[in-house]
Structures are given as structure tokens and as C-alpha cells.
Amino acid sequence: MNRREFLTAAGAGIAAALSEAGAQDRPIPRRSLGRTGAKLSIIGMGGIVVIGMTQDAANSIVREAIDRGVNYFDVAPSYGAGEAEEKLGGALQGYRDQVFLACKTARRDKAGAEEELHTSLKRLRTDHFDLYQLHALTTTDDVQKALGPGGALEAFVEARQKGLVKHLGFSAHSVEAALQAMNGFPFDTILFPFNWVCWSQGDFGPQVLKAAQAKGMGRLALKAMAYHPWPQGAPHTYPKCWYEPVSEAGLARQALRFTLSLPITAAIPPGDERLFRMALEFAAGYTPMKAAERQELLKKAAGVQPIFRHTAA
């Protein structure tokens, strides 16, 4: 290598290092959450990340996220049979007033939802949740039970009256359930899989986003970095993901930018800590996706099997 080549290579290395350092220094941007008045980091931390970690490791990654500007945390009692709540509760000690804490229940009856709410509050060492959600509504029967007489929604409304929760929302895994829930009660938020492959190959998401936006709800995204179901017999290199995530950095950045370029507030990356940190890096340097970039990305989805599909598609 001659002197010029050496200086060029050295300069490129320094530029890359400075770029990486700059990304570390940039805080995660924040956006308003519907009509709630809250402003959330565009990347949230899902409780699944801390499953399998020691408490010290969980404390460390939560502090890292907060230092980077993350103020949105989402968890559920089903994550690791309560382990995620326990670990996250410990890690958030001293930081609770700095974060927006969301939790969920999969119980559809009032008594069950009340019981799970109080258990979650205890595990997370808090006196309230900023957002409490019906978890994973999938069928019309789910919605009817939760919103009907004696359903979980009755517990939600009473908990809000008592100050145990501030805002009410739901997550859904089907278009039908999401639309039905939105029409059945004035929820504050929806958490839904707004994903590039599902959007283009399964007609899954556009109609839900449009309806939620029309109602002024806060829109939160799941599965932004999902790719497709694990191929049969393939090793699950990301064991916390039930689907195969996009792990190649270039495509993963495009997938996340696709979701964040929609009219949503925030996205929760996969529960693997490697992918979570990757998403933090991308979000720190986020720029909206241009029309040509979006078109190019959606071409790459052609023929890919989506993890969710609208049954009417």
C-alpha cells in the first residue's frame, strides 16, 4: 500500500468511526401518541428482550436504551411466564417517572383481567400503567368476550377511574378483530403488525391504519423487522422470534424505515437484543423513506410468504 492509499484507507476508517460515534450520540426521535398527550421514542423496548438475562444484564440494557432516548417500554405477563415483568420491573427502578410503561392482558373476562392487572403492577413495582391493553385480539369471539358484559373492558374502565391505568388500548393479530375493536369502544391506542411484507403480500395493515388514523388513535407497530415464517427444518438463529426476522443490516434498515415512514408513533423491534440494538442505531439516523425507495423495497417482498394475511385478500 502506498502513502496515498494508506491515507485514503485511514481517512475512511476514521470517517466510519466518527459516523458510528455520531449515531451513538444522537437521541432517538419522539412523536406524539394520538390524543393521549404523550410523546414517545420512535423505537420502544419490548420486555421480551430481557428474558433469559441476569438482572444485572437487564438493568444494563434498559439503562442503555434510556440513555439513547427510549422512553417507551411494553411488556406482558405471558412473556417468559412473568420473567419479563420481573426483570423489567427491577431494571426500571429509579427510572419509572422517565418512561411510558405499557402492559397487556390476554384475559377476556373482567375478573381475570383485574387479577392479571394487579399481578403485573406488583411485578413491575409500579402503582400505575401509562397504557393498558387487551393482548393479541385475533378473532371476533375475542373481541365480543372482552368488550361484552362481564368482559375485560369493564375492568379496564374501572382501573382507569381508580388511577391504576391512564390510557386504554389493544393489540390485534387480525384485520377483522382490529376493526371490530375500534368500532366497539373509543380506545386510545392500537398496537398492530405494520410490516412491509404483510402490507404488500397479505393486504394486511392498510385498512387498519386508515381506520385508526380516522379515529385519532395512537398507532404503534409490531413486527416491523419481520421477514417470513421460519422455513421448515431451518435453525432458529433468533430463538426469541417465532418468525424469521430480517437480520441483514441493509434490508433491516429499509424494513424499519418503511414502518416508521407510515403515520405511526413508534415501532417495537423483535425481542432479540441484537436486533433491538440494531433498531436503535437505525432510529438514531432515521430519515423518511422516499417513494422510489418504498417501491424498490416492496418489489423485494414479491413472492415472500407474510407472517400475517388479511383473510379477505
Split at pLDDT 50, 70, 90, the class of 23 is low
**Residue 129 and residue 164 in contact, taking contact as beta carbons nearer than 8 Å:** yes
* Structural domain count, the chain: 1
Q: Give pLDDT tens digits for 37-92.
A: 999 999 999 999 999 999 999 999 999 999 999 999 999 999 989 999 999 999 99
**pLDDT in the model for residue 3:** 41
Which three cell numbers, joined as nine digits, stand for 131? 397504557
Taken in order 38, 43, 48, 52, the sign of the CA dihedral is negative
CATH number, position 216: 3.20.20.100
In this structure, is residue 164 part of a structural domain?
A: yes
Is 79 marked active-site?
A: yes
Q: Give pLDDT tens digits for 140-157.
A: 999 999 999 999 999 999
- pTM, two decimal places: 0.91
In this structure, is residue 23 part of a structural domain?
A: no
Q: Give pLDDT tens digits for 101-114.
A: 999 999 999 999 99
In this structure, is residue 4 part of a structural domain?
A: no
Taken in order 172, 175, 181, 187, the sign of the CA dihedral is positive
**Ramachandran area for residue 177 (φ above 0: left; ψ -120 to 50: alpha; else beta):** alpha
**pLDDT in the model for residue 311:** 78
Block residue for cell numbers 460515534:
21
- The catalytic position among 72, 79, 227, 243 is 79
**pLDDT in the model for residue 89:** 97
Rounded to whole angstroms, the Cα distance separating 171 from 274 reads 24
Rounded to whole angstroms, the Cα distance separating 142 from 181 reads 9
Please provide the average confidence, as pLDDT, over all residues in the chain: 92
In this structure, is residue 22 part of a structural domain?
A: no
Q: Give pLDDT tens digits for 243-285.
A: 999 999 999 999 999 999 999 999 999 999 999 999 999 999 9
In this structure, is residue 108 part of a structural domain?
A: yes
CA distance readout (Å), 286 to 29, 143, 200, 264, 279 = 8, 36, 22, 14, 10
Structural domain harbouring 220 = 29-300
In this structure, is residue 14 part of a structural domain?
A: no
In this structure, is residue 123 part of a structural domain?
A: yes
**pLDDT in the model for residue 178:** 98
In this structure, is residue 107 part of a structural domain?
A: yes
Give the number of other CB atoms < 10 A from CB of residue 51: 18
For residue 43, what are the β-bridge partners? 267
